[in-house]
């Protein structure tokens, strides 16, 4: 099966019903996407599938074939520079244990891709990932900061 992951085409020889999470982690050694609950409730396993934050622990890999998959490993543009969301996460000290963070960052990236200036209500509606440490207020603040960072980067790029 052919998959497009972080802009690269990869081939995997797995059962079509194998969850995408296990293909990423066990077959491709991309361990940034985490296993949390196994029932698609917590969001630790989130990746972007055609730009939409999608939980992968119960998603058959066949459902991702032919779609663009972005994992946490593909969030920064070249792997050396952090995205605006990642920078805001650090600035606001969002992670505590850190386990949910890859899924949270993916969800935040997808939200800001679709809505560059979200309200508190928009953030609450989009960010359904579970954080056992309870850093939800920091998540909201970081998303608002990331929106401003992205807006500044976009205005800088358009002036060039």
Dihedral sign for Cα atoms in the order 131, 133, 134, 139: negative
List, for residues 84-109, the tens digit of each pLDDT value. Answer: 999 999 999 999 888 999 999 999 99
CB 22 within 8 A of CB 15: no
Q: pLDDT for 31-69, tens place per residue?
A: 999 999 999 999 999 999 999 999 999 999 999 999 999
At residue 113, the 3 state secondary structure works out as helix
Q: Is the pTM of this model over 0.95?
A: no
pLDDT at 153 (0 to 100): 78
For 137, the enclosing helix (H) or strand (E) is helix 136-159
pLDDT score at 11? 97
Check if the beta carbon of residue 104 is closer than 8 Å to that of residue 33: no
Contact of 45 with 35, CB cutoff 8 Å: yes
For the domain 84-159, what is the CATH superfamily, name and number?
[2Fe-2S]-binding domain (1.10.150.120)
* Closest by Cα among 148, 141, 30 to 90: 141
Domain positions in the chain are 2-74, 84-159
Cα 151 vs. chain centroid, distance in angstroms? Answer: 19
**Rounded Cα distance, 13 and 96, in Å:** 37
Name the architecture of domain 2-74.
Answer: Roll (3.10)
């Amino acid at each position: 099966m052919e998959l497009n992951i972080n802009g690269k085409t990869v081939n995997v020889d797995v059962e079509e019903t194998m969850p995408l999470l296990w293909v990423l982690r066990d077959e491709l050694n991309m361990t940034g996407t985490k296993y949390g609950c196994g029932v698609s409730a917590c969001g630790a396993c989130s990746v972007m599938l055609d730009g939409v934050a999608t939980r992968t622990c119960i998603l058959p890999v066949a459902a991702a074939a032919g779609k663009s998959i972005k994992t946490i490993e593909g969030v920064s543009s070249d792997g050396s520079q952090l995205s605006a969301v990642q920078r805001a996460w650090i600035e606001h000290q969002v992670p505590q244990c850190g386990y949910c963070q890859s899924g949270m960052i993916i969800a935040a990236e997808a939200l800001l891709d679709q809505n560059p200036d979200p309200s508190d209500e928009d953030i609450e509606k989009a960010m359904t990932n579970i954080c056992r440490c309870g850093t939800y207020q920091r998540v909201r603040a970081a998303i608002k900061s990331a929106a401003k960072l992205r807006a500044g980067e976009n205005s800088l790029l358009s002036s060039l």
